[in-house]
Structure 1
Amino acid sequence: MKKLVAFVASAALLGGASTARAELVDKVAAVVNRDIIAMSEVQQRAAPELSRINDPDPRKRAEQRTALMKTALDTLIGEKLMESEITEMGITATEGEVDELVADVRRQNNITDDAQFEQVLVSEGLTMKSYRDMLRKRILRDRLLRMKVGPKVKVTEEDLKAAYNQYARAESEDSEVHARHILVQVDPKATPEQVEAARKKADGIAQEARRPGMDFAALARARSEGPSAADGGDLGWFKRGVMVAAFEKVAFALKEGDVSEPVRTNFGWHVLKVEEKRAVAAESYEEMRPKLESKLLTEKTDKFLDQYVQELRQKANVDVKM
């Protein structure tokens, strides 16, 4: 169901998905022209990122929360402004187009049963109606962006070759890592005390793993709470850009045979051991071209989208109250 969950998350960028916390419902975060953005909407939009804050310093946690809430509010303001543009320009989407998008999501997730699909939506705090509304907004926003931003987004052959040269230089200096890990799981809704208890457990495992002669694979089979435990925590060989950023940073910084301090990801605390490293041969320009083109298109689209939203914001009456 991962694709559906991700699709739900991306679609949610076009309008609130689930009922917000009751204590926040009546608070106003901002007024965009005549539209109100409730604090509950901001809280809901920022919720996935807020749940990943785990800094032990209360002051830093508060700063991170404030920054995430501001980012979420800015996103919601941009969406309100674009919704106004969509209405003013008379951009529409048919029920048939929404049907096609729903069918595409179901195909990607191999869901053929209507009841199963609705059950998955309910687990994400959605109804079929609210999900279809979000998909419709997605279609409308995509059309607006194709009209206003699309003509500005161009990737030239020179852009691609420059990006490839940068990639090739970095790749020639990089390596591929073969690592194992031991996972101490942490529930997404865990309290700070539970998170810290799990960290201490992982720290004890890391110290045990560093004992002379310790078989890390055997330790992983005995102590890891992750799906790779049966394989001795084996992650195989991987390059940069494959693993979660925090995990990857540590893996590539370790020397062969080193065991890491506990590393936090959405799954919990990981203890890593790097078994081997080897040089990586850069892929050819022809092999990399589609990937580089997609990356550059995304980067340029994001850049011009930000500019477009700022232009809309300058012309609008935006009163931030948060």
Structure 2
Amino acid sequence: MKKWLGTRWLGAVGVAVLLGQAAPARAELVDRVAAVVNRDIITLSEVEKRAAPELARVGRDAEARERVLKQALDTLIGEKLMEEQIQELGLAVTDSELEAAVSDVKRQNNITDEAQFDRLLSGEGFSVAAYKEFLRKQMSRMKLVQMKVSTKVKVSEEDLKAAYTQYNKLESEDAEVHARHILVQVDAKATPAQVETAHKKALVLAQEARQPGVDFAELAKAKSEGPSASDGGDLGFFRRGVMVPAFERVAFALQEGEVSEPVRTQFGWHVLKVEEKRAVNVAPFEQVKAELESRLKLQKTEKYVEQYVQELRQKASVETKI
């Protein structure tokens, strides 16, 4: 679903819980308030939901968990402030715009019927209605970004040449990796206990894979729960920027023949083995110019969005409680 998930400031937003019930219920809700943004509330459960993948990755490290929760809260505060601007400026997404975007998502993912669409969304933890709400909010924020930020984003020829110099240096030092993996699937709605059970299973598989004489490919065929199991978990050769970041970081850090500790992604826990590394040829400037330009525009857009959100935050009443 990489084609349609948003960037840091353009992600989904949870539903705010409004206070105003009887005193005991109000006290319970107040305990769960993470921040108050002007008159809107962000609950702790919203923050934990947004931070869930990263919380699973850092495990029980208290300092890391606190950092992850703060980052998630900052993101939600930024989105809340942007939503207020969207309402004030009348930048709501129409039903026709939303349906056109949904059709585009289906086309990009080669979806031909609603049942297939339902399955795809379910795998990402969405119902159709929830995904449409997610997409509507994402598109509204895109309208705001285009109005307030996009006009500031300029990429010069000098910027591109400097980026290519860096790209050339990194690519010439880098390599392609041929890896295999064993996947222990984790449902998008799994409880922490279920995540931990899957983790323990992956730890056992990693230990087994390191035993002398064990054929990793055969072990993957027998134990992996991913679609590549029939091929012995073979992922072929890949370069940086292809796999999800957590997976990629480990794959490029391993030596040839080395087996990783379990790595968590949105699909579950992976045990990786690097079969081979090889040098890559660097593409010429003209061939990668368009890609570099898109990357620089995205980087500059994210920087300006962060500045814009900070300006909104300075003018707003924001009270954090965690």
- Place the TM-score, normalised by the shorter chain, in its bin: 0.7 to 0.9
1:206 Cα deviation from its structure 2 partner: 2.8
Q: Deviations over 1:230-272 (max 9, x none)?
A: 223322112222234444344334443x222423232455444
In the alignment, what sits opposite 1:194? 197
How far, CA to CA, are the matches of 1:163 and 1:100 in structure 2? 35
Inter-CA distance 24–148: structure 2 relative to 1 (3 Å threshold): farther
In the alignment, what sits opposite 1:237? 237
Inter-CA distance 97–25: structure 2 relative to 1 (3 Å threshold): farther
In the alignment, what sits opposite 1:13? 11
Inter-CA distance 95–319: structure 2 relative to 1 (3 Å threshold): same
The answer to whether the 8 Å contact 1:178/1:274 transfers is yes
Q: Deviations over 1:121-178 (max 9, x none)?
A: 67745463x5444433333222221121111111111111111111111111222222
1:314 Cα deviation from its structure 2 partner: 0.6
Deviates more, 1:158-167 or 1:259-268: 259-268
The answer to whether the 8 Å contact 2:9/2:79 transfers is no
- Look up the equivalent residue of 2:13 and give its one-letter code: G
In the alignment, what sits opposite 1:101? 101
- Look up the equivalent residue of 1:15 and give its one-letter code: V
In the alignment, what sits opposite 1:156? 156
Structure 2 counterpart SS, 1:93:
coil
In the alignment, what sits opposite 1:263? 262
Runs of 5+ consecutive residues of structure 2 not aligned to the other structure:
18-24
How far, CA to CA, are the matches of 2:9 and 2:307 in structure 1? 22
The aligned runs of 1:21-32 (5 Å cut-off) are 27-32=32-37
The answer to whether the 8 Å contact 1:185/1:198 transfers is no
Deviates more, 1:285-294 or 1:37-46: 37-46
The answer to whether the 8 Å contact 2:164/2:285 transfers is yes
The answer to whether the 8 Å contact 1:11/1:134 transfers is no
The answer to whether the 8 Å contact 1:219/1:232 transfers is yes
How far, CA to CA, are the matches of 1:94 and 1:193 in structure 2? 42
Structure 2 counterpart SS, 1:227:
coil
The answer to whether the 8 Å contact 2:260/2:273 transfers is no
The aligned runs of 1:123-202 (5 Å cut-off) are 124-126=125-127, 128=129, 131-185=131-185, 188-189=190-191, 191=193, 194-195=197-198, 197-202=200-205
How far, CA to CA, are the matches of 1:194 and 1:144 in structure 2? 43
In the alignment, what sits opposite 2:71? 71
The answer to whether the 8 Å contact 1:53/1:64 transfers is no
In the alignment, what sits opposite 1:206? 209
In the alignment, what sits opposite 1:39? 44
- Look up the equivalent residue of 1:68 and give its one-letter code: V
Inter-CA distance 54–268: structure 2 relative to 1 (3 Å threshold): farther
- Look up the equivalent residue of 2:208 and give its one-letter code: I
- Look up the equivalent residue of 1:43 and give its one-letter code: E
How far, CA to CA, are the matches of 2:88 and 2:39 in structure 1? 14
Q: Percent identity?
A: 54
How far, CA to CA, are the matches of 2:111 and 2:9 in structure 1? 18
Structure 2 counterpart SS, 1:53:
helix
Inter-CA distance 77–295: structure 2 relative to 1 (3 Å threshold): same
- Look up the equivalent residue of 2:79 and give its one-letter code: E
Inter-CA distance 199–70: structure 2 relative to 1 (3 Å threshold): same
- Look up the equivalent residue of 2:210 and give its one-letter code: Q
In the alignment, what sits opposite 1:308? 308
- Look up the equivalent residue of 1:53 and give its one-letter code: R
How far, CA to CA, are the matches of 1:255 and 1:127 in structure 2? 43
The answer to whether the 8 Å contact 1:17/1:131 transfers is no
Runs of 5+ consecutive residues of structure 1 not aligned to the other structure:
none
How far, CA to CA, are the matches of 2:177 and 2:128 in structure 1? 43
Q: Deviations over 1:10-59 (max 9, x none)?
A: 9983532699xx99855322111122222232233223333x2353xx3x
Q: Deviations over 1:279-309 (max 9, x none)?
A: 2110111111111111111110010000000
Inter-CA distance 85–315: structure 2 relative to 1 (3 Å threshold): same
1:315 Cα deviation from its structure 2 partner: 0.9
How far, CA to CA, are the matches of 1:167 and 1:298 in structure 2? 16
Inter-CA distance 277–126: structure 2 relative to 1 (3 Å threshold): closer
